[in-house]
């Protein structure tokens, strides 16, 4: 609590300092108190249990708010009668909107920040080697699947016992009749029963009205650290100037793909839709806008940059003399859209991701690309399973990142969910990337380049319009882009058929058992066409 309180104190004192700048004694007092509060704020910010990059994002956001308030104060507070009104307006805005945002700023930390609730960690022996706790959302801790025909009121005895008055339907979808997800509720555990988490789980699990209960796990993307740019000399027959940085194109021999499509005059049977479930996409980016279609305006911006980077890998406009390129040789084959399931700090929950899957499926997209996930185990997969089944029934093929913890992907969700194609990352010499989870125990695992991957970033980001990053997050949209191209040529392909083609036509890596085959676009497309 000291973090948001110290920020509000610093902001208030800054405004007072501006208001009394003509009275030297008052101005001196408020300036000293301001710097003291600012120091307390800074210490609390950087003591939070989060990565340095994440803290910098929080700092940038807070200073932007503080600077904006100071600017308006300098303009509006020339007359003292406006002081109380202005402070009241600032107080209402902070109290109603920004205070809650600050309280929940740090999804990376192990302890929740909005209450005195302890870490809610569910241990599983099969995941001990990762040494990562499973943390549940502190607003909606539980996902409860009611049995068919049961109502939430049938749980009245348990709800009263633990004061569980805060609950709502968990998921939204068009075709409720074809999925059990329509029977899920999310339940918030109040502070006075935070120690009863396991008891509540047990009581709900024993109820004759409950089919299944699990925690609503927190999901975070890995911090994005720019990497040095690689350099290649291969020619691809297209005019995008940043091709010299796409070592993955050289390794996958993408020039052969373009040559095959052009020589054989291959045309699509439809324009395949690829949905990037992530932090949003900068839909106005110079190298994306001609292939981007919007579903909601709030999805068409990306503060973090993660979603935009993934979108460029999957579907950057090819041969437009700008930036990078993707597998689709022209704009007739694929288009891309954004479903924002992670917030502006790269955090989300199992619920937000599943709702994103359902939303994308209801849009009848061809490919769902998810460069996200968190530690889990095969015992807690029912909600993800139901969501993937729903997406598959709607015709979507789901591509998921294996994870970046150098361990078994079977311990990560949704990477371990049946029905998805899970993607590991390789480096420039075809080794499994040092961070990449391995996929030998995954039903459908495949590999793609995931080190020093140069792609699009939001136009106004600190890295400029393009940057190189590492991660299975970067490998995943390579596969999504290729699958989109495949679906544009044969819209009837299902997940298993697509995976079979990718595996049959893929190239071996230096550790194929752990990475799966490396996608080889020209042969995959040849297999689809022929």
Q: Please list the active-site residues.
A: 278, 306, 473
Distance (Å) of CA 380 to CA 342, 359, 430: 21, 22, 33
Q: Read out DSSP for 259-271?
A: HHHHHTT---SS-
| 424 CA to centre of own chain | 17
Other CB atoms within 10 A of residue 274 CB: 31
Other CB atoms within 10 A of residue 208 CB: 7
Other CB atoms within 10 A of residue 480 CB: 34
What length does the chain have? 530
Q: How many Å from the N-terminal Cα to the C-terminal Cα in the chain?
A: 63
CA angle 14, 108, 453 (to 5 degrees): 105
Which residues, 6+ apart, have CB-to-CB distance to 280 below 8 Å?
298, 299, 300, 301, 302, 303, 304, 307, 308, 338, 340
Quote the CA–CA distance of 334 and 365 in Å, as a whole number: 11
Which structure tokens are listed for 21? 């700048």
- Helix ranges (H only) for 48-161 are 52-76, 81-93, 99-103, 156-161
DSSP one-letter code for 405: S
* Cis peptide leading into residue 414 (ω within 30°): yes
Quote the CA–CA distance of 421 and 480 in Å, as a whole number: 10
């Amino acid at each position: 609590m000291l973090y948001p309180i110290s920020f509000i104190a610093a902001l208030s004192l800054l405004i007072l300092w501006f208001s009394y700048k003509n009275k030297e004694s008052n101005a001196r007092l408020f300036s000293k108190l301001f710097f003291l509060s600012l120091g307390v704020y800074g210490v609390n910010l950087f003591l939070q249990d989060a990565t340095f990059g994440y803290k910098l994002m929080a700092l940038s956001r807070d200073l932007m708010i503080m600077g904006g308030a100071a600017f308006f104060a300098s303009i509006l507070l020339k007359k003292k009668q406006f002081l109380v009104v202005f402070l009241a307006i600032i107080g209402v805005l902070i109290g109603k909107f920004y205070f809650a945002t600050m309280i929940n700023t740090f999804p990376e930390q192990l302890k929740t920040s909005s209450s005195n609730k302890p870490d809610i960690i569910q241990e599983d022996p099969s995941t001990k080697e990762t040494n990562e706790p499973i943390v549940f959302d502190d607003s909606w801790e539980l996902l409860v699947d009611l049995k068919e025909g049961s109502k939430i009121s049938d749980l009245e005895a348990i709800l009263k016992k633990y004061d569980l008055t805060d609950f709502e339907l968990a998921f939204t979808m068009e075709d409720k009749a074809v999925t059990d997800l329509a029977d899920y509720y999310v339940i918030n555990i109040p502070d006075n029963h935070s120690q009863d988490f396991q008891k509540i789980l047990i009581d709900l699990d024993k109820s004759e009205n409950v089919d299944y209960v699990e925690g609503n796990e927190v999901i975070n993307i890995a911090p994005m650290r720019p990497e040095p740019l690689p350099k290649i000399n291969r020619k691809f027959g297209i005019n995008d100037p940043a091709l010299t940085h796409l070592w993955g194109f050289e390794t996958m021999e993408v020039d052969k793909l373009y040559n095959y499509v052009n020589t054989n005059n291959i045309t699509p049977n439809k324009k395949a839709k690829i949905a990037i479930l992530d932090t949003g996409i900068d839909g106005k980016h110079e190298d994306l806008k001609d292939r981007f279609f919007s579903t909601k305006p709030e999805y068409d911006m990306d503060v973090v940059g993660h979603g935009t980077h993934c979108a460029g890998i999957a579907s950057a406009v090819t041969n437009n003399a700008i930036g990078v390129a993707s597998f689709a040789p022209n704009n007739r084959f694929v288009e891309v859209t954004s479903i924002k399931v992670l917030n502006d700090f790269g955090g989300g929950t199992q619920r937000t991701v599943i709702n994103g899957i359902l939303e994308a499926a209801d849009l009848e997209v061809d490919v769902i690309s998810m460069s996200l996930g968190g530690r889990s185990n095969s015992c807690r997969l029912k909600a993800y399973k139901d969501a993937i089944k729903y997406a598959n029934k709607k015709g979507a093929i789901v591509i998921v990142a294996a994870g970046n913890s150098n361990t078994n992907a079977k311990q990560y969700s949704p990477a371990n969910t049946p029905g998805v194609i899970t993607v590991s990352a390789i480096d420039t010499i075809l080794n499994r990337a040092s961070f990449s989870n391995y996929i030998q125990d995954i039903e459908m695992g495949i590999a793609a380049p995931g080190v020093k991957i140069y792609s699009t970033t939001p136009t106004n980001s600190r890295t400029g319009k393009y940057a190189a990053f590492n991660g299975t997050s970067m490998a995943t949209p390579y596969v999504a882009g290729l699958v989109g191209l495949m679906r544009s040529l044969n819209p009837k392909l299902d997940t298993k058929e697509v995976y079979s083609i990718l595996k049959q036509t893929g190239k071996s890596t230096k550790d194929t058992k752990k990475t799966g085959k490396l996608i080889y676009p020209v042969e995959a497309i040849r297999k689809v066409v022929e």
